[in-house]
Amino acid sequence: MAISRYTLDNIINRGQQYGTAAATQIIRNGISNGAIRFETAVLRGGERLDTVAGEVYGDSTLWWIIAAASNIGWAAQVPAGILLRIPNPNDIAEIFE
């Protein structure tokens, strides 16, 4: 999955960049309207968003997708016990095509 919140990428709007705010809103809207399926998980002690993203997406730099979907701030480290919404990788890829 080649989605970045920083750089131009051909998968995102045919090479047009979505800024962080736009990508976040797309993800949140997709969660709200059912276009993006998601799993929920409770963040355990010692886990970070980047490690969860690495396990789910195979790319730890995509932690911001989980943060956006979960309505939490832009920090890879959040307190244990936070309920995460982890978007389905296929749905995320389709949204940004």
Is 86's pLDDT higher than 60? yes
d(CA 15, CA 50): 25
- How does pLDDT run across 44-78, given as a tens digit for each residue? 998 999 999 999 999 898 899 999 999 987 776 78
Are the CB atoms for 9 and 18 separated by under 8 Å? no
pLDDT beyond 50 at 9:
no
Could you write out the DSSP letters of every residue in the chain?
----SSS--TTTGGGPPPPHHHHHHHHHHHHHHTSS-EEEEEPPTT--HHHHHHHHHS-GGGHHHHHHHTT--S-S---TTPEEEEE-HHHHHHHT-
The percentage of residues in the chain with a pLDDT greater than 70, rounded to a whole number, is 75
Average pLDDT over residues 77-85: 91
Instruction: Give 92's pLDDT tier (boundaries 50, 70, 90).
Output: confident
